[in-house]
Amino acid sequence: MATYTALTTLPGRDAAEALGAAMERLAPEPTGIGVFEIEDGSGLWEVGGYFEAPPDAAGLALLAAAYGAKPFAVSELPQIDWVAKVRRDLSPVEAGRFFVYGAHDADKVPPDRVALRIEAAMAFGTGHHGTTLGCLTALDRLVAAGVAPGAVLDLGCGTAVLAMAAAKVWPGPVLASDIDPVAVEVARANVAANGLGDRVQCIEAAGLDHPDLAAGAPYGLIFANILKGPLVALAPDLTRALAPGGNAILSGILNAQAGDVEAAYRASGAALVHQDTIGDWTTLTLRRG
């Protein structure tokens, strides 16, 4: 059975959330609504609805006009076995010594690589995105340089691929945290599947205020693969949580945003060590003085 999407953009969070709420009163009703900030510095928000029947074009047009949004773009999506598609599309990823794979590619793992198994249905943080790939590349560089960080924190861990990579190459304690309880469950499942249940602790937490995160500080390495806004806001706290000489690997940063993020951390006492650019995305490696 085909499904349908209706997407638009408009400026301002309040207007976007109000439009999303108004879409719930459409007939046919959407099966889901998403409201997201577009992280490109434009100030625009995307509002989208998902429908099991063709949405009411006139109703969408009236809502767009009422809330100052662009006309909705309506698309029909064919029925797809998404798990099968993800398995076809997500081939193994190599980043230096690291090899990220799904169970369907277990026979392709080279014997000389650090293997990280991520289930295909848990697609966020598989290593294919430029942000995760950039973080793994930066991590590989630190390992090659002989860095021994001690305690490691993966902040906003998603699938916990970065936490697991650190646990595979270093003996110290590793914490993985995420604000999303579903992500934490995904992380725990992946940690267990990789035999790292006794090495990586997964915690539901926002920012660095959780008691377990505070108790684990200072960290020799902190990963934060999130977005520019939270990265900038967290700069003072994240830098303080680093041990002197400790490293931070930051991503989720569009190339045009890298300067702003680097400046926030420089002001907090962390110096840029290396910058990786993969496609539209930048990964920064910084070190606390």
User: Of the residues 17, 50, 77, which one is the last residue of a structural domain?
Assistant: 77
Instruction: Give the mean pLDDT of 70-80.
Output: 83
Compute the distance between CA of residue 182 and CA of residue 186 in angstroms, rounded to an integer.
6
User: Of the residues 59, 77, 95, which one is the last residue of a structural domain?
Assistant: 77
Give all strands of the β-sheet with 114-117 in edge-to-edge order.
93-95, 98-101, 114-117
pLDDT of the residue at 1: 64
56-59: list long-range contacts, CB under 8 Å, 24+ apart. Answer: 56/26, 56/27, 56/28, 59/26, 59/27
Compute the distance between CA of residue 16 and CA of residue 43 in angstroms, rounded to an integer.
11
Whether residue 27 is found in the same domain as residue 141 = no
Q: 3-state DSSP call for residue 61?
A: helix
Residue 95 belongs to a domain: no
Q: How many domains does the chain have?
A: 2
Compute the distance between CA of residue 220 and CA of residue 287 in angstroms, rounded to an integer.
10
Whether residue 70 is found in the same domain as residue 188 = no
Whether residue 45 is found in the same domain as residue 144 = no
Mean pLDDT of the chain: 89
Compute the distance between CA of residue 147 and CA of residue 137 in angstroms, rounded to an integer.
14
Instruction: Give the mean pLDDT of 66-81.
Output: 85
121 pLDDT more than 90: no
CATH code (residue 147): 3.40.50.150
pLDDT of the residue at 109: 84
Residue 100 belongs to a domain: no
Compute the distance between CA of residue 121 and CA of residue 133 in angstroms, rounded to an integer.
18
Residue 201 belongs to a domain: yes
Whether residue 152 is found in the same domain as residue 68 = no
Instruction: Give the mean pLDDT of 17-42.
Output: 89
Residue 119 belongs to a domain: no
pLDDT tens for 28-40 read: 999 889 888 886 7
* Residues of the domain holding 60: 3-77
Whether residue 213 is found in the same domain as residue 283 = yes
pLDDT tens for 151-197 read: 999 999 988 999 999 999 999 999 999 988 888 888 999 999 999 99
Residue 187 belongs to a domain: yes
CATH code (residue 66): 3.30.70.260
Q: Which two tokens stand for residue 181?
A: 């309880």
Asked if residues 284 and 239 have their Cβ atoms less than 8 Å apart, the reply is no
Residue 276 belongs to a domain: yes
**Residue of 119 and 254 predicted with greater confidence:** 254
Whether residue 176 is found in the same domain as residue 269 = yes
Residue 113 belongs to a domain: no
93 falls in which pLDDT band (50, 70, 90)?
A: confident
Whether residue 262 is found in the same domain as residue 173 = yes
Residue 50 belongs to a domain: yes
Whether residue 174 is found in the same domain as residue 280 = yes
**Residue of 123 and 17 predicted with greater confidence:** 17
Whether residue 268 is found in the same domain as residue 157 = yes
User: Of the residues 77, 94, 110, which one is the last residue of a structural domain?
Assistant: 77
Q: Model-level pTM?
A: 0.69
